[in-house]
Amino acid sequence: MKKIHFSEWGIDSPRYWGMLAVLGSIVAIAGGAVYYMEHNGHWVTGMTNQVVWGIPHVFAIFLIVAASGALNIASIGTAFGKKVYKPLGRLSALLAIALLAGGLAVLVLDLGQPGRLLVAMTHYNFKSIFAWNIYLYTGFFAIVAVYIWFMMDRRMKAWYKPIGIFAFVWRLLLTTGTGSIFGFLVARQGYDAAILAPMFVIMSFAYGLAVYLLVLMFVFKADGRELGAALLKRLKNLLGVFVAAVLYFTLVYHLANLYGTENHAYEAFILKDGGIYTLLFWGGWVLAGCLIPLGIIYHPGLGNTRGGIIAAATLVILGGFATVYVIVIGGQAFPMAMFPGKTIIASGFFDGVNGQPMLYAPSLPEFLLGLGGVALVLLLTFIGIRMLRFLPATLSDEVADPHHAKP
């Protein structure tokens, strides 16, 4: 294994600025959507007093979950000492910061009072997992920034491993916190389950790695850097393990629910009669997000082609959005069980009359806000790799892979 050199992203200026312009315009359009929604109020969105969190939250939660997952590559290199992952660490940490920034931007811009962010920073209720998350998120930025610094600065080499371990523990806490936002909600049938916290952690592993893989392959191809086949194979096998773990947690979550009669109605809603939610669960969460990617990754032929890996990672991301949608929106659409043994046959406030789910029809501005968050992630990443030395000059197998057989 040779010494790794890092360099700035070297694509042509017109292409670079062109990409920034496109991403910048998407962010600007999202800004317009935010202005429209905040100026008018949330009545212009699909969100209601029944489904209070909508598409912006789906995007925000996906990005925040993926953020901590994207850091995994760096953690494997530092905390677990796998040499082959070390050159990948800088991009991993940068992407983690960018994803978190994108997700938080979407979350904050959907608040009813986004101007009161300062209030959220000065008034804390320490029983609220949301308040804890504010610390976890800001802490994540700070820790990962220091982590990047220590990765890049040779003088800090002694501290490189401790900060790596600290960042790894912090990211586990962060995703546990995100999962607990739902896990701690006793009111709703679909939530109120401790398993949601570890499930979010494992989801973050899969989504973060999928995003990382796509970004890595794109930026390397764009300026003609070499990405070794053996390294790619490692990464895609890792993705396979993570995706399988998501499937396993999904299975346990639903089996546990199916065992207890009190949850049968909720399970029937998600698995069988929930319309869009059932479709997204089977078609998105299970099939597109887990089974097909697993099939591609472990297919002897397809799994070793770049096209196959790109397809698998893309499907994991799309399936991930479907998963978060089913959890966030599906969990709210299912009527709350206020009167066991009774059916609500009339209500002045849409209480799930005759078991009908709550309606939610996402609006365009909500989507634009979410897409703006995604564009912001890429914008920050591209600017980062252009300005500083995040990318290894090459990741050819003979440079990067310690087990590479000398020819």
Q: To the nearest whole angstrom, how small is the minimum distance from the Cβ of residue 240 to other proteins?
A: 34
User: What residues have CB less than 8 Å from 222, skipping those under 6 apart?
Assistant: 9, 11, 15
- Residue 260 interacts with other proteins (CB under 8 A)? no
> Among 165, 214, 217, 344, which residue sits at the site for other proteins (rule: CB under 8 A)?
344
261 binds other proteins (CB under 8 A): no
Minimum CB distance to other proteins, residue 61 (Å): 12
**Interacting residue with other proteins among 3, 13, 14, 119 (CB under 8 A):** 119
Q: What is the dihedral of CA 201, 202, 204, 210, to 10 degrees?
A: 170
- The residues in 135-164 that bind other proteins, with binding defined as CB under 8 A, are none
Between CA 124 and CA 117 the distance in angstroms is 12
The C-alpha atoms of residue 46 and residue 312 are separated, in whole angstroms, by 31
Contact 59, 374 (CB under 8 A): yes
Q: Does 405 bind other proteins (CB under 8 A)?
A: no
Name which of 25 and 40 has its Cβ closer to other proteins.
40
Residues 6+ positions from 155 with CB-CB distance below 8 Å: none
Q: Which stretch binds other proteins (CB under 8 A): 96-104, 122-130, 313-321, 389-397?
A: 122-130
- The residue range among 28-36, 217-225, 330-338, 373-381 that interacts with other proteins, by the rule CB under 8 A, is 330-338
For other proteins, give the closer residue by CB, 131 or 217.
131
Q: What span, in angstroms and rounded, lies between the C-alpha atoms of 172 and 154?
A: 27
Chain center to CA of 44: 27
CA dist 166 to 129, 143, 170, 203, Å?
Answer: 21, 8, 6, 21
Instruction: Compute the CA torsion angle 99, 100, 102, 104 (nearest 10 deg).
Output: 160
Counting contacts by CB under 8 A, is residue 214 touching other proteins? no
DSSP 303: G
**Does 265 contact other proteins by CB under 8 A?**
no
Please, which residues have CB within 8 angstroms of residue 114's CB and are 6 or more apart in sequence? 34, 38, 108
Q: Choose, by CB under 8 A, the member of 169, 229, 338, 364 that binds other proteins.
A: 338
Nearer to other proteins, 74 or 197 (CB): 197
Distance from chain centroid for Cα 341: 39
| Contact status: 301 vs other proteins (CB under 8 A) | no
Least distance from other proteins to the Cβ atom of residue 271, Å: 22
Nearest residue to 205 (alpha-carbon basis) of 234, 173, 246, 166: 246
Total residues contacting other proteins (rule CB under 8 A)? 50
In the structure encoding, which two tokens stand for residue 114, read together?
A: 């986004």
Q: What is the DSSP string of 210-244?
A: HHHHHHHHHHHHHTT--B-HHHHHHHHHHHHHHHH
**Residue keyed to tokens 């912001």:** 376
Interaction of residue 16 with other proteins, rule CB under 8 A:
no
Q: Does 359 bind other proteins (CB under 8 A)?
A: yes
In the region spanning residues 26 to 45, those forming contacts with other proteins, defined by CB under 8 A, are 38, 40-43
The answer to whether residue 237 forms part of the interface with other proteins (CB under 8 A) is no
Member of 17, 80, 124, 248 binding other proteins (CB under 8 A): 124
Residues that bind other proteins (CB under 8 A): 38, 40-43, 47-50, 52-53, 111-114, 116-117, 119-120, 123-125, 127-131, 134, 181, 184-188, 332, 336, 338-339, 341-351, 359
